[in-house]
Structure 1
Amino acid sequence: MRPPSASVEIDAPLDAVWATMLDTASYAEWNPFVVRAECTEPRVGEPIVLHVRWADGKGTRSPERISVVEPPATDADGVARATLAYVFEGWPARLGLIRGTRFQRLTQRPDGPTTYDTVEEFSGPMAKYAGPGRVADGFRRHAEALKRRSESLS
């Protein structure tokens, strides 16, 4: 099974894209996939409840826990990177049936666009029933909307 993923180049500084990603209170204004995110502060160990809307208009609530918050940092070659990740904590995960971790990574080379990559790494005996096709579709819609939002704000 190929993990659901999406990627897009964004004509905005990495810091601006990162700020958009962490502004969970504004998701309803721009995000067609995660239409609402309940999160006090995006930091490691904090719960986050995602209200997801599928392409068919149906929705679901996904309890997660933030596992990685690596703010923007630039390496010796001038490449900036940042990562946000969270782990699925719904009842299938509690029963050991499906485990999932979503990674959202940003990369910006000097004088280049910001690249946004996201992937959900599923495992467990029921992973193939997690709807990887519709998750990938949601990730594509999320990535395109993040691009529009970040470019409009910068």
Structure 2
Amino acid sequence: MVDAAAARHADVGATVQEMFARRNALVLALLQTAKEAGELRSDAEPEVVFDQLAGALYYRLLVTGQPIDTAYVHRLVTSALTGAAPSTRGAGETMTHAQLPTRVAETETPSASPRRRRRLLAVLSGLLAVLAGYTLWTNIRPVTLTASTEIDATPDQVWRVLTDFATYPRWNPFMTSAQVTSSGGVLAKGARMRIHLHDAGGDMTFTPEVLTARPGRELRWLGKAGPGWIADGEHRFRIEQLGPHRVRLTQSERFTGVAVPFIEGQLKSNTLPQFSAMNKALAQRATG
């Protein structure tokens, strides 16, 4: 669901990029100053050096899951700056394998300012910590949309309507079509779906993975926009029996990712009303 919202609003990506651009500006300025002072090679590109730092950070954060502590950030920054430092070797000279261990010593230059390098290291370390902290914060502070309705029907009746995807175009104002696209077309954990959505922001198609499919009780899937740190949406339908012929249907979605704070208002104003509209339409169909 959130991947649909993010894709429909091009300003989301632009806003995220602008936010990080402002944070990066100080680091890039320091790298440029260090380059002009001879502390980095004349052909060193501040943007590339920063990309190396941020890329390594996000690789740990999103792929390996290894910890990002102060010691790691210090080693990362030191390694990147050492690689971009000027060499005392002559132009066109190359190093043999045996000479490689002396590389760090050769990159130190008398003109380098220890104070500036310490400041650069501190600022870079601080910025990378902020980037990691922001990403983690957006993933532990989810935005949740919830809408419930009570229906005079049995859990099985509600489940049949909910999972009769072929009839969605006839009655569903929110999910105007849905189908299981995995081999065999069976609605089960791990299955892939293709769903068309409609809300005040427009129409969108997304392909979530089913996480839970318990007949008469719960249907849950996960949709993603790019890597998990951008935007994830876990959509859930829960059916609770209240009496012999009465249930509560709760439709909810839990959003996490760096783009979510920028689309929270749009999700609540455009998407949440469609949760209620779908619940109402499903109730009418189940009792009709």
Same fold (TM over 0.5): yes
The letter for the 2-side match of 1:106 is I
Q: Does 1:66 align with 2:207?
A: no
Contact 2:235 2:253 in 1 (8 A): yes
Shift of 1:50: 1.0
Please report the RMSD computed on the Cα atoms of aligned residues, expressed in angstroms: 1.7
Contact 1:99 1:124 in 2 (8 A): yes
What's the counterpart of residue 18 of structure 1? 159
Partner residue of 1:137 out of 273, 276, 284: 273
The letter for the 1-side match of 2:278 is H
Q: Which runs of 4+ in 1 moved over 3 A?
A: none
The letter for the 1-side match of 2:250 is D
The letter for the 1-side match of 2:163 is L
CA distance in 2, matches of 1:11, 1:110: 9
Q: Does 1:87 align with 2:87?
A: no
Q: What SS does the corresponding residue of 2:215 show, helix, strand or coil?
A: strand
Q: Per-residue CA shift, 1:76-133, capped at 9, x if unaligned? A: xxxxxx00000003xx243630011011000113325110001100111111326321
Contact 2:148 2:279 in 1 (8 A): yes
Q: Which runs of 5+ in 2 are unaligned?
A: 1-141
Q: Does 1:111 align with 2:244?
A: yes
Q: What SS does the corresponding residue of 1:15 show, helix, strand or coil?
A: helix
The letter for the 2-side match of 1:37 is A
Taking structure 1 as reference, are residues 2 and 97 closer, same or farther at Cα in structure 2, changes over 3 Å only? closer
Q: Per-residue CA shift, 1:2-60, capped at 9, x if unaligned? A: 5111100111111100111111111111101000002123211111111011146x211
Q: What SS does the corresponding residue of 2:278 show, helix, strand or coil?
A: helix
TM-score, normalized by length of structure 1? 0.83
Taking structure 1 as reference, are residues 148 and 126 closer, same or farther at Cα in structure 2, changes over 3 Å only? same
Q: Does 1:43 align with 2:184?
A: no
What's the counterpart of residue 78 of structure 1? none
Q: What SS does the corresponding residue of 1:27 show, helix, strand or coil?
A: helix
CA distance in 1, matches of 2:170, 2:278: 12
Q: What SS does the corresponding residue of 1:18 show, helix, strand or coil?
A: helix
Q: Report which of the two has the higher share of strand.
A: 1
Partner residue of 1:98 out of 202, 217, 231: 231
The letter for the 2-side match of 1:88 is G
Partner residue of 1:52 out of 190, 193, 197: 197
What's the counterpart of residue 150 of structure 2? 9
Q: Does 1:127 align with 2:271?
A: no
Contact 2:200 2:271 in 1 (8 A): no
Which structure's CA Rg is the greater one?
Answer: 2
CA distance in 2, matches of 1:107, 1:97: 32
Q: What SS does the corresponding residue of 1:94 show, helix, strand or coil?
A: coil
What's the counterpart of residue 30 of structure 1? 171
CA distance in 2, matches of 1:68, 1:110: 24
Q: How many residues align?
A: 140
Q: Which runs of 5+ in 1 are unaligned?
A: 73-81
Q: Report which of the two has the higher share of helix.
A: 2
% of aligned pairs identical?
23
